Structure 1
């Protein structure tokens, strides 16, 4: 059948065509459509001043706050990874499993390490938003953060 498509494969041109189409096939078969996140992509551009009393928990590593914005609110976390003072994370509080339900919001647990969905208690790691063991959900929607010394900008 390949001989019908490429002609005489003994010729140099036939081999070049075979290699070309095989390469294209391999490249296209390895391309996957990026999985769309369940949480809607809304415009986020928030400036948070770290010297305000409402942002006091962000002064120390492991501190976090809830902030208006995003789809169902923002969760800002100060990771302070490897001694990097400007290591902040920002997540949408929407639970990826329950986007369209009123209970579909995550809340930080008392251990300050995990967040839980209010609908089904599915756990997410606060450090990076990944689902905890046994949770087959997508991770929390994460936003970009810039540090400016006394403020941070959360945006997408």
Structure 2
């Protein structure tokens, strides 16, 4: 019986391989974004985006026309201390390794990258006020 238990324990450890996707998204305080603020004029049109405060390195907000998305500016590569940027209005780029991510869903667009960009929940409270929260 002892050998059987040892076998099961060994099998458990062997089957617990990491897939390399060890990213943890930071918890953020709720952020309120007023689209009437001139700082966010780009968010007032579909496909518009803007940087905003929130989280350890800020947020990237994107307007889908009928909804909004918010992504962390923190690179999925945890050792990177720089903020991600938006290039050509369609991709987010990590300046540390040049990895590219879709601004539509945060998915990696660079081969070999497995982690997506952290996404946060956006609730449109009124016509001009957004709340960004954790999921």
**Which residue is 1:87 aligned to?**
67
1:39 deviates by: 4.2
TM-score by length of 2: 0.77
Alignment CA distance shift 1:108-1:67 (3 Å) = same
SS at match of 1:90: strand
Alignment CA distance shift 1:67-1:37 (3 Å) = farther
**Which residue is 2:132 aligned to?**
154
SS at match of 1:146: strand
2:87 corresponds to 1:102: no
Which of the numbers 67, 87, 109 marks the counterpart of 2:52? 67
* Matched-pair contact (CA < 8 Å) for 1:39–1:71: no
How many aligned residue pairs are there? 119
CA RMSD of aligned residues (A): 2.5
**Which residue is 2:29 aligned to?**
44
**Which residue is 1:125 aligned to?**
102
1:46 deviates by: 0.3
Deviates more, 1:69-78 or 1:40-49: 40-49
TM-score by length of 1: 0.68
Q: Which has the higher helix share?
A: 1
* 1:64-84 deviations in Å (ceiling 9; x for gaps): 11111112111111022xxxx
Gaps of 5+ in 2: 1-17
* Matched-pair contact (CA < 8 Å) for 2:21–2:115: no
